[in-house]
Each structure stands twice: as C-alpha cells, then as structure tokens.
Amino acid sequence: MHLITIAVAGSMFFAVAAQAQNAPGGSAERGEKIYLHQMCHNCHGTVGQGGGVAGPKLAPNPFPWGAFAQQTRKPRQAMTPYSEKVLPEQDLADIYAYIVSIKPGPAAKDIPLLSGF
C-alpha cells in the first residue's frame, strides 16, 4: 500500500521535473489549491481542460514556463492580469507545477463504457 503510494508519487515527481525545465521549483499539491483559490478554474477548468469561450485549455502540454508566466502577468487579450501582489512568484511556480503534473486522459476508444458509441 505505502510502497504503491511512494512509487506513484515518485514517478509523478520525475515527470514534473522533466517537463518543468527552467521553471522554478514548485509544489503541484499547493499549486492546485492556489489555482482554485485564484479562480483560474473558472475560465480554464479544474484540470486545465479549458472552458469553452471563457479560456483555452492549459493542460496537458502546457506553455513553457516563460510564456506561461508572461501570459499570467501580462495577458495577450481578454484574460485578467495577475500582478505579483495578488499572485506571488512562488504561487505562480506552484500553479505551473500543478498544470505540468496534469496527465492526458485515456482516449475514448480505451474507455469500455464508451466503446459502443
């Protein structure tokens, strides 16, 4: 039981570490809370899947760190900007760690319940 938990946590860590190159270290667990607290999910969905017209999908395969941070601080278009005052740098790094940790869902063909559709 504990061994499985450690193995899963360990593999997640390596996936995050590999993708988050150049990004400051962040905690995906803390990032998820901040992501929800800052209302990012209102427009981008709870797992970054996108919210239709409100905001594009953020994950899987997120923007590289530089572009991600730039967009959050100085959005290109309609998105609300988040200054360092409302969203400290560490919080943004944690959000990024959370976004990077989101795995793609299974393909529809691999979900037995959907195989008849």
CB of residue 16 to ligand HEC, shortest distance in Å:
16
Contact 49, 41 (CB under 8 A): no
CB of residue 71 to ligand HEC, shortest distance in Å:
4
* Closest CB to ligand HEC among residues 104, 116: 104
Residue showing tokens 């061994």: 3
CB of residue 1 to ligand HEC, shortest distance in Å:
34
First to last CA, the chain: 36
Rounded distance, CA 15 to CA 85, Å? 30
* Closest CB to ligand HEC among residues 8, 37: 37
* Closest CB to ligand HEC among residues 5, 77: 77
Taking the CA atoms of 68, 35, 105 and 78 in sequence, report the sign of the dihedral they define. Answer: negative
CB of residue 105 to ligand HEC, shortest distance in Å:
18
* Closest CB to ligand HEC among residues 26, 44: 44
Give me the residues that bind ligand HEC (CB under 6 A), please.
38-40, 42-44, 54-56, 58, 63, 68, 71-72, 75-80, 82, 87, 95
